[in-house]
Amino acid sequence: MLIGPPGSGKGTQAVRLAERLSIPHISTGDILRAAVKAQSPLGQQVAGIMAAGGLVGDGLITDLVRDRLAAPDTGRGFILDGYPRTASQAAALDRLRAPESFVVILIDVPGEVIVRRMSSRRVCDSCAITQSVLPDAEMEREACPYCGGNLLRRPDDHPDTVRRRLDTYEEACGPVIAYYRPRPSFTAIDGLRHADAVTADVMAYLGGAERAPRS
Ligand SMILES: [Zn+2]
């Protein structure tokens, strides 16, 4: 199970780990989209809630996760990404699978670093390459060093938007982290480093052969 704030690189790690370990990557977003597409009874409920602009509740999400975990491809394990998102979902998950069967990994990145990272991100409107500008560059428009196009900040990367998303995350996920922290299998991994070093640390923690060069 991977826990981490938006911008921590958690999604990237989930994809890599699923590939390395040849186990499925299970994200709530994918489950919701798949259920809606399959038009299963649960999927129709989800579609109705989303069409009305509502939030899919804990109970429904847990039902969907239960169905997904029952699929045959989870026999050798799975990566959970974005679930559980609340303490009540965490308690529900403990009723679906033995609590001690989970390894809980927090990709740890301080909020201020995420705000700095995301607010320095720009996307070129011509070649679409994402790049970083200097943290103190306040200009919204600069020239792309590759093609001369305009470097634009996505509205999602605006510092105020990032802070709001982090607040929402901390409100929901603080209790989830508190829920898992006392467990022997819980670990926090420093997410401030290159993605390769983070992957290596996670694999080492999981008992894989790879070892991260410690800095
Ligand atoms: Zn460009």
Query: Using DSSP, how many helices (H) and how many strands (E) does the chain show?
Result: 8, 9
Q: Average of pLDDT values for 25-43?
A: 90
Residues 6+ apart with CB under 8 A from 164: none
How far, in Å, CA of 178 to CA of 176, rounded? 5
Residues with CB under 5 A from ligand 1 (ion): 124, 126-127, 144, 146-147, 149
Please give the sequence-ordered ranges of beta strands (E in DSSP) within the chain, or none if there are none.
2-3, 25-27, 79-81, 105-108, 121-124, 130-132, 142-143, 150-152, 187-190
- Average pLDDT, integer, range 157-161: 86
To the query of whether residue 10 is one of the catalytic residues in this protein, the response is yes
Instruction: Give me ligand 1 centre to Cα 131, in Å.
Output: 9
Q: What global pTM score does this model have?
A: 0.79
pLDDT of residue 210: 41
Query: Percent of the chain at pLDDT above 70?
Result: 93
Tell me: the pLDDT tens digits for 62-106? 999 999 999 999 999 999 998 998 899 999 999 999 999 999 999
Cis amide linkage into residue 84, ω under 30° from 0: yes
pLDDT digits (tens, 9 = 90+) for 95-154: 999 999 999 999 998 888 888 888 888 999 999 888 888 766 555 567 888 999 988 888
Longest dimension (CA), the chain: 55
Looking at residue 165, its pLDDT comes to 83
> Mean pLDDT in the chain?
87
Task: Give catalytic status of residue 154 as yes or no.
Answer: yes
Most confident of 26-35, 135-144, 171-180, 196-205: 196-205
Q: Which residues of 103-116 are buried (b: 16+ CB within 10 A; e: fewer)?
A: bbbbbbbeeeebbb
Tell me which of 68, 121, 122, 153 is the catalytic residue. Answer: 121
Å from CA of 194 to ligand 1 middle: 24
| pLDDT reading at 196 higher than 50 | yes
95 is catalytic: no
How high is the pLDDT of residue 177? 94
- Residue among 141, 154, 164, 183 flagged as catalytic: 154
Over its C-alpha atoms, the chain yields an Rg (Å, rounded) of 19
| Reported confidence tier of residue 212, pLDDT bands at 50, 70, 90 | very low
